[in-house]
Structure 1
């Protein structure tokens, strides 16, 4: 965090050249040259390592393959090691990792987000403890650990040793609830503050012709895919995870029952799309919203810029008078909640226990974690792909060129902490306030942050999903199976009207959970919380990190 001043790639190369020629016998980790220098002044020999990289199938044919392209070449020319890249399918990385480790052909550097993949590898002694390696041979990451102590909580294994490398990101809301305030004004209604008021407003939107076209062709609320997650969270339902009830982890089925009762009410009274259950990815709900046919839109926001600028322009073409605002999640019987938030402290990387050159591996990670490297892999080369704007942040010169040559390269910088470049890490920098549509989008995003980044409200799970403990394999298999069965029961109660009540579904859920051995999982989670909560990343750590970011 001390090295916020950006240094151009040309300057870095020049400094590296001077250092390489000056000799002096420095430790390579302390040298300005990424590869280090020998005491005789000649470049130190680079080690050979293998590095995983997600394969999303998005590399243009003209650019090569994810394992061989302009950026793999750039990394090897500028980095401290000779890296061979191993593609990992992003759609199902777990299966690929199982094969690689079982055949003892897993790469040296394991870039993987999923703790349910990394944590079992720690238990199996397949990953290397990193404490001594970081202490003796790291510069960049060692400093990051000092600046953000919460990183150690996230990257430490059960034995108290560090096994993972983490990164620090800006925290933003991932979910939100939007409302058509022009419809509120048309019907002389107020922004709903409680779940009962939310129901009444949604009912009015569906029945009282809020768009004034003389037809009953509007939905009060979206109810599909991530919309359900937002509604569940509003009632304090942890979904397939655990929330805190009376100070201990709980599946909180009673909270889920209240959420399901709410959804069933909307469904039975034709306030939502009756075919919502078949809208598996939310595409139909999104289209209805953009066509001006949905009044309340709980949704996962994959890109705030795209939603608040691009989608709003699309909506205004269909409904020129549309005004959309984010609203706080209305208070439910369980209390007031914030929606899901971006994880600010994320474990991303590990080193294979069988790595032959661990020093080369940690130096490679340090190279990736540098500001200059992270900027290059995220934005391209200065003067070729971007120029610095008035804030000193990268701005694409030719968006199409950037899309073709750079947009897919971010996974090479998986362990890079965006907050090393704090003035450019803020999501707000994506907006140009001088453009009216973008100024409106920036205002929307700012309002959402103020509403949802509230430490005084509850979070529906014990902690962010990536920081929940990993269940033993047998329990995880049980959890996966029984969670699907339970979700099917809840959905059936929404769709079947009076023939299958929510109360009966609740009883069936409790029975299904008990028969599947749910108490054993409950006991595991409670034991973890009682004994490991002080060393785990919980919501207090999140809000402490957010406060540090704001500074």
Structure 2
């Protein structure tokens, strides 16, 4: 941020005229009566009509109805006015993003730029021939991105597949490295005279008290100790040093997470919580996690396995239960010790180019990425100066109104597919709105980020094997193994974790697991220096 302290000022000044036009509905996707603002738009206008490109976007369901949709809102209009391209955004549901993108690829209707956080998925698209190498395009058409990537050589391995660069990426800020988080109602602990749990066994005991001792004080047995968002089951696995889709080095040999004894232990722990009624019984079918969120925000849940940043949930909980005190919980230790919760690698979003893109679109796409990196990302993240934020010390963007920001800007960060912005945790109070509730959460957010990064997350190799046989097997094995796991967790005495582990390993072998492990080991030996 220090290196690029000018960016918020530039982004804010560029945004004023266009966002004012957007707010009065004078700007349309195809243009407006006002001249586009900013040098990039002026250049594009002088050169002739902008080229149209399409870009995927994760639909997280956060665009308010009055804002429009992910395809059309104040920010899509802003980008089309100010960037050197006219962009059509193609939303895909976050929870089914890869499935939806694969369907679009198979039908020949995938967007020009396809992005994911998952390098394995980008490698899969590369091996299928669905995307094309980008080395030459960046060299030929880029200025900002080219310079940025030269200054960040640590990102090259993330975007390199089969010796070629198949994606454009940027670095994660520290709040992007942190991902998963555990939270607990401190006021419930205090009321019941309990200490925060530090082990998996203590977590069960605290959860039992939360279930039985009426911590919300309404005289009813209606509390649910633990609820999840999409990270919940992975958090349990992390406690046992295993992730279902990671490869681990066991005595120098690569082994797939779902075939390890530790994975069985994570299933057994999940089953124990389920059998004792310490989890919401419907968490497996609560696919969008709205039920879990409702239980948390209405004060019926005491422990939340989620993300390190739960601002929306926290705000809604405090509105419903003003005396609630939600605090971050450090990962509890299992018999294997204390692991960190899931943390991301340095590379952020991986942006790939559809193999069907022609040269003119490629040029426009690269110039759009340059514009986003240089100017657009700050508006996507912080909105308009003196409307959504004001600058503290000329550098730190401080929210003016938390609710307004949440509705009008919160979803826009989805469009900043490359970004050159890094913050410090101690900035959170200065960045937040200055009302008491926003400040309360900002201090908590600083604390939560520290907790999320305190313990290193076990990751034995930087990337999983990106060879077709591995990707194909895992894609086939995943739904089968998930079904086996669900049956073991919810099936009572009819299925045990041991039986589930045996069945999973049998399926792994049936699908060619032994050969895939051999190929993965050969890949590892060839690339081990590259994987540190």
Q: TM-score, normalised by structure 2?
A: 0.77
For 1:323 and 1:302, the matched residues in 2 are separated by: 16
The structural deviation recorded for 1:232 is 1.9
1:311 maps to which of 317, 322, 341: 317
1:221 maps to which of 206, 221, 226: 226
Q: What residue is the counterpart of 2:154 in the other structure?
A: 150
For 2:381 and 2:392, the matched residues in 1 are separated by: 16
Task: State whether structure 2 residue 501 is matched by structure 1 residue 500.
Answer: no
Report SS of the residue matched to 2:184.
Answer: strand
Distance 1:186 1:85, change over 3 A: closer
For 2:188 and 2:69, the matched residues in 1 are separated by: 49
For 1:235 and 1:391, the matched residues in 2 are separated by: 45
2:338 maps to which of 317, 336, 360: 336
Distance 1:507 1:385, change over 3 A: closer
Q: What residue is the counterpart of 2:464 in the other structure?
A: 468
Q: What residue is the counterpart of 1:299 in the other structure?
A: 305
Task: State whether structure 2 residue 272 is matched by structure 1 residue 265.
Answer: yes
**CA displacement 1:176-227 (0-9 Å, x = unmatched):** 2223334434444332222222223323333445556665544443478543
1:350 maps to which of 343, 352, 356: 352
For 1:413 and 1:489, the matched residues in 2 are separated by: 38
Given that residues 470 and 516 in structure 2 are in contact (C-alpha distance below 8 angstroms), is that contact kept between their aligned partners in structure 1? yes
The structural deviation recorded for 1:165 is 0.9
Report SS of the residue matched to 1:167.
Answer: coil
> What are the residue-to-residue correspondences of 1:58-207 with 2, within 5 Å?
71=75, 74-80=78-84, 82-83=85-86, 85=88, 87-90=90-93, 108-125=112-129, 127-159=131-163, 161-172=164-175, 173-207=178-212
Q: TM-score, normalised by structure 1?
A: 0.75
Given that residues 387 and 395 in structure 1 are in contact (C-alpha distance below 8 angstroms), is that contact kept between their aligned partners in structure 2? yes
Given that residues 236 and 243 in structure 1 are in contact (C-alpha distance below 8 angstroms), is that contact kept between their aligned partners in structure 2? no
For 1:64 and 1:366, the matched residues in 2 are separated by: 26
Structure 2: unaligned runs, 5 residues or longer: 16-37
For 2:198 and 2:348, the matched residues in 1 are separated by: 33
How many residues align structurally?
A: 500
Structure 1: unaligned runs, 5 residues or longer: 14-31, 539-551
For 2:269 and 2:110, the matched residues in 1 are separated by: 48
For 1:313 and 1:463, the matched residues in 2 are separated by: 43
Report SS of the residue matched to 1:193.
Answer: coil
Report SS of the residue matched to 1:330.
Answer: coil
> What are the residue-to-residue correspondences of 1:366-405 with 2, within 5 Å?
366-370=370-374, 372-382=375-385, 386-390=389-393, 392-395=395-398
Given that residues 49 and 108 in structure 1 are in contact (C-alpha distance below 8 angstroms), is that contact kept between their aligned partners in structure 2? no
Given that residues 336 and 458 in structure 1 are in contact (C-alpha distance below 8 angstroms), is that contact kept between their aligned partners in structure 2? no
Given that residues 388 and 395 in structure 1 are in contact (C-alpha distance below 8 angstroms), is that contact kept between their aligned partners in structure 2? yes
Given that residues 290 and 314 in structure 1 are in contact (C-alpha distance below 8 angstroms), is that contact kept between their aligned partners in structure 2? yes
**CA displacement 1:209-250 (0-9 Å, x = unmatched):** 555666554444347854332222111231244344345432
Given that residues 305 and 430 in structure 1 are in contact (C-alpha distance below 8 angstroms), is that contact kept between their aligned partners in structure 2? no
Given that residues 296 and 317 in structure 2 are in contact (C-alpha distance below 8 angstroms), is that contact kept between their aligned partners in structure 1? no
Distance 1:494 1:157, change over 3 A: closer
Distance 1:198 1:118, change over 3 A: closer
The structural deviation recorded for 1:430 is 4.5
Distance 1:426 1:389, change over 3 A: closer
**CA displacement 1:142-198 (0-9 Å, x = unmatched):** 232233222211112212x32211022323333222233344344443322222222
Report SS of the residue matched to 2:515.
Answer: helix
Distance 1:267 1:77, change over 3 A: closer
For 2:263 and 2:482, the matched residues in 1 are separated by: 10
Q: What residue is the counterpart of 2:27 in the other structure?
A: none
- RMSD over aligned CA atoms reads 4.1
Structure index of larger Rg: 1
Moved more, 183-192 or 89-98: 89-98
For 1:100 and 1:405, the matched residues in 2 are separated by: 29
